Structure 1
């Protein structure tokens, strides 16, 4: 592993507002820690960032931390979330790294083609797609929104537009330079009716709840999109998700949205996430892939994490590690996830080389999700503050390595 140094950069989250609750005040802050990207041709230090769906909190956390006991009846609803400000939706930000600080230049709320702000409300569920039930602070059910996005991965394009990865659909969303949706690519069986002009393989709808597309990057010529699911699919069921040891990684033709190649990325054993294990029980299903970064032909950086422990791997894609196209079909049995559960999974697996682990740097915060290349030897990492619902603030970290990341 290379020699590494880390430095926290100064940053202040913009405040959205406050909410008085029985046991204190919730201060909501914008968060831009879900994805980072640089744009070809931009000046050094210019960074694009994106936050996720908007402020949301688990029912148990809202009761235990803020004393909102009148919502106790929602504890028995699987996956229930509270959105204290459903009017705050996904937002892009232009940032600038200046010496030892990150500066906010401007924010761009995402909008539909007509310019109306997009919500971060969950899409309607169906037989093939799990969806979260969402409630407001009074306990009233908030209707699902087929256009809602839980934005995570981000790619800034040379024409000024963007690609965004969404966990709800899961979907790929093409934005123009003003953050307006131009197209949304959804799984063929998602049940979400949005005119996208293209569809993704139906198997994408088998993503585990809230574990869709979070990691996204693109080749230098912008011909190929690379994306990874956050976790193994729940295919054919949730038990397969919990037992699987690998995550699907796709290469897509950016012009057509067609998946051309599938790989499987091996997750580390749970016991190797030292800081997470020190906090209590830590399972294989707690491990996530949160970011990809294109370094050169067939070479990616992969950000793999628990909560407290974050690792960065260099990963080389080659023809020997391609998975047969049969495993893009929903009907194929056994599924990749079922095969993945075995110690010696009988499918080709990507190899990876460790470059960084936050277990070696206890000062580095938890919940690192975004990653961008500042220079051939420098990375910028950012944490997800969850809009401050539990008091967290965004942290930016510059990671310097003693060797070139780009060959």
Structure 2
């Protein structure tokens, strides 16, 4: 098990960091580096800036480049409004991929690739007309925004050596293949038989949060954010311990499905934000809550699919796996699965991000969403979901006034990247 021992020598190293991304002392001064985006706002509305640096929903190394990464936005700026509505202050926002170079403490945006349909129609962040979440989305004036067949909420990103991309989303869940120009090539989903049918029971806005590809380029591996909202589930969905991993063979289109046990979500309020491949069977999973540290649940786990049961289409005595396990703690959930003949993926702590961030005094974000690895996991880069720097509205009637999302240090949340040299932290 690979753990960050903050109580050991690594604590002194991490504590030496300053917010420029440069460590001041010791031979391991490059073990942790912070890179900030510094991009113009998308808009300024009544004095509140909407950040232009919100590309942290997922992260993937640029193939063939040692210091470049692709990031991606989610569906766009949106906040909770009164009466359970979502307010989108920029209704024509198009989700996009961003290519970043990490250098001298800066995350430099080199290019963007807006997502589009095959005919060139821009994607939007509106509800998808094929797979609604049940939300009502309005603009700042309170006008409802119609669902869109090209509505997409990107969350997982894979960049292939041929220049194309696979991107998963929360609405479907969908996994869509995009060309190098951002045009859609093909899409797989629970609705067209490309993905297991049970994934259509995803909870609203808790779809396929993570996506990666095995190093041999043969298999996509996607991960649901949390438990499925199965029809027979009689408990709170976000407290259920089970979530699912799906593999998709790019050549044969065959799928397999495995169980992942969250780390006591009833207590930790955690869910999955990312999965990234170490090998054809081993992966790093980002499990987090929505709180700021210290004391937040933000951990990376190393998992192994070897020997895990394929549960696609499977139930337990007529009940869904989610209903069978319910809100049991992780240890009891594993026992319940064992009694049913189901083996989940194995799971060990890889890195305690909250401990690292607390000691460093940098990168204290509520949403750590992107994780990329290099060199077999010796280098880890993480990114935050900044919510475009906005966090709700200040009034109950339109036109809605936006509230900035502020960090404990008094600054507005924006996109950042943190590079971690695991060999030095654990050395």
Q: TM-score, normalised by structure 1?
A: 0.82
* Aligned with residue 313 of structure 1, among 278, 281, 301: 301
CA deviation profile, 1:1-59 (whole Å, cap 9, x unmatched): 14565332232144111111xxx53434341010011243x221121111100110011
- Secondary structure of 2:243's aligned partner: strand
Change (3 A) 1:254 1:50: same
CA deviation profile, 1:205-236 (whole Å, cap 9, x unmatched): 10000000111100122211111101111112
Equivalent residue, structure 1, for 2:70: 48
Equivalent residue, structure 2, for 1:255: 251
Unaligned runs of at least 5 residues, structure 1 = 60-74, 189-195, 271-282
CA deviation profile, 1:303-324 (whole Å, cap 9, x unmatched): 11112332111111112x2233
Which 10-residue stretch deviates more, 134-143 or 354-363? 354-363
**Could you tell me how far 1:173 is from its partner in structure 2?**
0.7
Q: Does 1:92 align with 2:97?
A: yes
Equivalent residue, structure 2, for 1:16: 42
Give, in whole Å, the separation in 2 of the partners of 1:166 and 1:238: 26
Give, in whole Å, the separation in 2 of the partners of 1:378 and 1:238: 42
Equivalent residue, structure 2, for 1:62: none
Q: TM-score, normalised by structure 2?
A: 0.78
* Aligned with residue 139 of structure 2, among 136, 139, 145: 136
Contact 2:258 2:312 in 1 (8 A): no
CA deviation profile, 1:49-97 (whole Å, cap 9, x unmatched): 11100110011xxxxxxxxxxxxxxx334xx210000111211011112
Contact 1:2 1:402 in 2 (8 A): no
- Secondary structure of 1:365's aligned partner: coil
- Secondary structure of 1:174's aligned partner: strand
Give, in whole Å, the separation in 1 of the partners of 2:190 and 2:323: 21
- Secondary structure of 1:304's aligned partner: strand
Contact 2:196 2:313 in 1 (8 A): no
Q: How many residue pairs end up in the alignment?
A: 358
Give, in whole Å, the separation in 2 of the partners of 1:174 and 1:136: 30
CA deviation profile, 1:167-187 (whole Å, cap 9, x unmatched): 001100100011111112121
Change (3 A) 1:144 1:357: same
Contact 1:125 1:131 in 2 (8 A): no
Contact 1:242 1:285 in 2 (8 A): no
Q: Does 1:183 align with 2:179?
A: no
- Secondary structure of 2:235's aligned partner: helix
Contact 1:224 1:252 in 2 (8 A): yes
Give the 5 Å matches for 1:25-64: 25-40=48-63, 42-59=64-81
State the superposition RMSD in angstroms: 2.4
Which 10-residue stretch deviates more, 231-240 or 286-295? 231-240
* Aligned with residue 289 of structure 1, among 253, 272, 283: 272
**Could you tell me how far 1:153 is from its partner in structure 2?**
0.4
**Could you tell me how far 1:265 is from its partner in structure 2?**
1.1
- Secondary structure of 1:325's aligned partner: coil
Unaligned runs of at least 5 residues, structure 2 = 15-31, 391-404, 406-411
Equivalent residue, structure 1, for 2:123: 118
Q: Does 1:204 align with 2:191?
A: no
Equivalent residue, structure 2, for 1:323: 310
Change (3 A) 1:14 1:352: farther
CA deviation profile, 1:130-166 (whole Å, cap 9, x unmatched): 3321011111111011221000100000110000011
- Secondary structure of 1:29's aligned partner: coil
Change (3 A) 1:76 1:183: same
Equivalent residue, structure 2, for 1:274: none
Give the 5 Å matches for 1:311-390: 311-319=299-307, 321-327=308-314, 333-341=318-326, 342=328, 343=332, 344-346=335-337, 347-360=342-355, 361-362=357-358, 363=361, 364-366=363-365, 367-376=367-376, 377-389=378-390, 390=405
**Could you tell me how far 1:349 is from its partner in structure 2?**
1.9
Equivalent residue, structure 2, for 1:68: none
Give, in whole Å, the separation in 2 of the partners of 1:154 and 1:48: 8
